Structure 1
Amino acid sequence: MSLTITCGIDWAEDHHDVALVDETGKLVAKRRIGDDADGYRQLLDLLAEAGEAPETPIPVAVETARGLLFACLRATGRRVYSINPMAVARYRERHRTARAKSDHADAMTLANILRTDADVHRPLPADSELVQAIAVLARAQQDAVWNRSQLINQLRSHLKQYFPAALAAFQVRGVGLDSREARAVLAVAPDPATASRLTRAQLRAALRRSGRQRYIDDWVERLRAVFTGDYLHQLPLVERAMGRQTLALVGQLEAACRAADDLAEAAAEAFAQHPDAHILTSFPGIGPLTGARVLGEIGDDRGRFADARALKAYAGASPVTIASGKSRAVRHRRVKNQRLAAAGYVWIFGALPSPLIKEHYDRRRAAGDRHTAAMRNLFNRLLGCLFHCLQTGQTFDPSRAFPAAAAVSDAAAA
C-alpha cells in the first residue's frame, strides 16, 4: 500500500501542512504539524497510519528542504523531493485557473506531483554526513567572501566622498582596502585630518599590528607622502562624521575578513578528510578551498547525476537550445547552481597556466569565442572529466583530457 501513496508538505515558518494521496489522487489524510520534535512525531505517525512499511517508506515532496524536520526526514533514508516553487505553481494551474491558493491545496499539489511525475523529478541526493558538513562550511565561506566584497565596495565608495588619499594609499598593486595594512591604518586614522597628523612612529606601530614585518620604513614614507598631499576636503564636522562611518565599515570588514579566513581553514580541513579529495586536487586549478566548494555542491552520491551531461547542465556549463518553427538559438544556461558556477570560474581561472588548458582556451578564442564563452567551454570539458574520474576513481590525466592539444605539443617538441 505504501508504494501507491505519496506525501506533500507545504512549508511555513512555524508549521507545515501535510497531505497524503493515493494512486487515484484521492486524499487519504491531512494534518497541520508544528516545526518541532512533536510535529515530527505526528508526521511519522501519520505516515505509519497510512500503511508505510519500513522497507518501502512513503516518498515526500516539499518546496524547500530547509530546517531540522526535513533533515530528520532525510536521515530516515526515505526519498525527499525538493520541487521548485515555480514548477509547483504551474502544476497548481493544471486544474484551477482562478489562482486560488491555500496551504492545504499546495500540500496536495506536491503529493500529486509525485503521484504523476515522480520519474521526472530527482530526490535529494544521499550524500554522506562529511560532504554535507563540507557543503555547509564551503557555502558559509563563499557567503563571507561575497559579504567582504560588498563591504569593500561600500568602503571604497564612501572614502571617495571625503578621503581620496586613502584610496591612493591602498589601491595599488597587491594591496587593497581589505588588506591587513589598510584596515589597521584606517582604524587609527579614519579621516584626512587625523591621517595627516600621524607620526612615523604611529604609522610604524599600526603596520606592525597588522602583521607586516618587511619594508615597514618604505611603507611609512609612502603613506606619509600620500596623507600629507593636497586634496579636496569636506567641512570639518562633516569630515569627522564620515570618519566615524568609516570606523563602522572597517569594523564590519575586519569581521568579514576574519570569518572568511576561519571558514576557509575549516572547509579545507574537512575537505582533506574526504576520500575524493585526491581526485579533485589532481585537476589543475583546484586547491583545498575550491575543491571544497565543488565537492560541496556536487556531493558524493554517485547516482545523483545520470551522466556527465546532467552535471554540466546543473553547473550551467552546457548551452541550452531554444527552437520554435524555423528559429533556433543556442544560448548559455541561466538557470543553474550559482554557487557551483562561481566556483567553476575560479577553478578555470586557476587552471589557465596549465599549458594544455591554455592552448585549448587560445584555440577557442581564435575560433571566435569571447573570454566568458571560452571559460565556459573549458568548464564544460573539465566537468566531464571530473564526472568520469569520480565514477571510476581515477585522477586527472591532461593528455587524455586534451588529446589534440597534447599531440600538437608532442609534435612541436619533436
Structure 2
Amino acid sequence: MDHQLYLGIDVGKTEHHATAITAVGTVVHDKTLPQSEPKIRALLQTLRAEHGAVLVVVDQPKTIGALVIAVAQDLGIDVAYLPGLTMRRVADLHEGQAKTDARDAFIIADTARTLPRTLRGITVAEENIAEPAMLCGFDDDLAAQLTQVRNRLRGFLTQIHPALERILGPRLGHTAVVTLLTRYPSPTRLRSAGRGHVRALLKKHAPRLAERLTEEIFTALAEQTVTVSGTTAAEKIIGRLAQQLAQLCSQRVEIEAEILAVVDAHPLTQVLTSMPGVVVRTAARILTEVVGKNFKDAAHLASYAGIAPVTRRSGSSIRGESPSRRGNKTLKRALFLSAFASINASPASRAYYDRKRAQGKRHNQAIIALARRRTDVLYAMLRDGTFYTEPTPPAVALAA
C-alpha cells in the first residue's frame, strides 16, 4: 500500500513522542503522546482523516509499545517496527548529536519514508502465540533470578565452609539439597542434626542419592574444624536464600505446565516436536520467535537466528568466516540446544557432528554447523506442515 503519512513513535513508559511526515517530507505533527488508548486512537483517526493512509512505525514492538500497535491494528492502520541497531546507524546520517525523543521520533518517521526496506512488519499475533510468548518471557525472568540466587548462595557457602560448598554448590538445582539447606542452613546445624536426620530428609526427595550424599556432606564437614567469623549471620541469609530458591523453582514448574498446556494446542507443535532434539519447551521458543514473521528461505531464517556464518574479506589478503554476533539470541539458543540434544537422538545428526569434528572444528563450532543444517529442514517443515523423517543412510555397494 502507498502511504501518504509516516508516523514515527519513540515509545516511552508514560508518554511517547509522535512525529508525522508526509510522503513529500513535510512534518505535520510533532508532539508528545500520552500512553492512553483514547489519546492514541484520537490521534490516529485524525491523521488518517486529514492525510489518508498512515503507516505507524515504532522502535519497540513489545512491552511499552504494545498498546500503540494494538490500537493501530484495531483501526486497520498499517504498523511496522524499526530495529534499534538500524535506527542508531541511520541516526548517524542525520545532523546533530543530541539524543532526544523528538529527534528519535523524526528519524523513525523519516527512515520509514525514505528507507522502507529497513522496516520489519508486525502482524496481528495469534492468541496462542502471544500467550506463550508472555509466559516464556516470565520464565526467562525466573531463570535469571534462579541463577542469581544460586550464585549468592554458593558465595556464602564458600565464605564460611568451602569444602561443604564443593559438595552442595553444584547440586543446588536438586530439590533435596535446597530442602536440606532450608532446614539446616549452616555447618553447625548439619552437625547437630546428625547423619540419621540428614539422610532421612534427603531420602524423601532423592532416595538413590541420599546415602552417598550424606557421607559426602559429613566428610566435608570433618575437613574444617574452625568457625569462620560471620557464620551466624550467614546461616540466617543462607536459610532465606534457600527458601527463595525453593519458591522460584516451584514457580518455574507452574509456568512450565502453563506453557506446555498452551503450546501443546498449537497445530505446529506436533510438527516441531517430531524433529529429534525438539521438546515442547523448545518448540514454544521456536514458535514465539518465528510465527508471524516472513522468511524468504531457510538462509533468511538462519541469518535471523544468528547461526549463519559471516564472511569477512578484505581484498585478497584477509578472508574467512566467523560466527555471527547478531541475530535473535532467544531463537539462536533454542536451535543450538536442540541441535546439541539431537546428537544422541538422531543418527544423522551424530554422523554430521562427527564429520565436522573430524574436519578440525571445535565442539561449539560443530554444534552451530549442525544447527544451521537442521534449520533447512526446520524451515521446510514449518512451510509445508510436514513431519520430520530421518534421512536414510546411503546404501553401500558390496563387492561381487
Task: Please say whether Structure 1 and Structure 2 have the same fold, judged by a TM-score greater than 0.5.
Answer: yes
Task: Find out whether 1:26 has 2:32 as its counterpart.
Answer: no
Q: CA deviation at 1:95?
A: 3.3
Counterpart of 1:411 in structure 2: which amino acid?
A: V
1:1-44 deviation per Cα after TM superposition (whole angstroms, max 9, x unaligned): 97221110111221111111111111122332211223223332
**Aligned match of 1:214:** 207
Aligned residues: 394
Cα distance change, pair 6–257 in 1 and its aligned pair in 2 (3 A): same
Please name the residue that 1:187 is paired with: 182
RMSD, aligned α-carbons: 2.6
Indicate yes or no: 2:2 matched with 1:6. Answer: no
1:219 Cα deviation from its structure 2 partner: 5.5
Q: Take 2:227 and 2:304, find their aligned partners in 1: how far apart are those partners?
A: 51
8 Å CA contact 2:10, 2:105 repeated in 1: yes
SS in 2 for 1:398: coil
Contact 1:2 1:51 in 2 (8 A): no
Distance in 1 between the 2:5 and 2:134 partners?
33
Structure 2 CA distance, aligned partners of 1:251 and 1:50? 60
Taking structure 2 as the reference length, the TM-score comes to 0.90
Partner of residue 373, structure 1: 365
Matched residue, 1:325? 315
Superposition deviation, residue 369 in structure 1: 1.1
Q: Secondary structure at the match of 1:29?
A: strand
Deviations 1:170-208 (A, max 9, x none): 36xxx7112111111111211111111103553255336
Partner in structure 2 of residue 116 of structure 1:
114
Q: Look up the equivalent residue of 1:212 and give its one-letter code.
A: H
Query: Where do 1:13-412 residues align within 5 Å?
Result: 13-52=13-52, 57-65=53-61, 66-67=63-64, 68-73=66-71, 75-76=73-74, 77-96=76-95, 98-170=96-168, 176-200=171-195, 202-204=197-199, 206-207=201-202, 211-212=204-205, 214-215=207-208, 218=211, 221-222=214-215, 225-226=218-219, 228-231=221-224, 233-235=226-228, 238-299=230-291, 301=292, 304-326=294-316, 327-353=318-344, 354-399=346-391, 406-407=393-394, 410-411=395-396
Shift of 1:311: 0.7
Higher mean C-alpha displacement, 216-225 vs 344-353: 216-225
Deviates more, 1:261-270 or 1:224-233: 224-233
For the 8 Å contact 1:20–1:28, the answer to whether it is kept is yes
Residue 342 (structure 1) shift: 1.5
* Aligned-partner residue type, residue 342 of structure 1: R
Instruction: Give the secondary-structure state (helix, strand or coil) at the position aligned to 1:317.
Output: coil
Change (3 A) 1:341 1:149: same
Stretches of structure 2 lacking an aligned partner (at least 5 in a row): none
Q: Deviations over 1:207-235 (max 9, x none)?
A: 36xx4263487268526633652315334
Cα separation, 2, equivalents of 1:221 and 1:5: 71
186-195 or 196-205, which deviates more: 196-205
- Per the alignment, do residues 221 and 159 of structure 1 end up closer, same or farther by CA in structure 2, a change over 3 Å counting? closer
1:81-118 CA-to-partner distances (Å, cap 9, x unmatched) read 2223332233233230x313432222121111111111
The more displaced of 40-49 and 246-255 is: 40-49
CA deviation after TM superposition for structure 1 residue 315, in Å = 0.9
**Contact 1:178/1:253 (8 A) holds in 2:** no
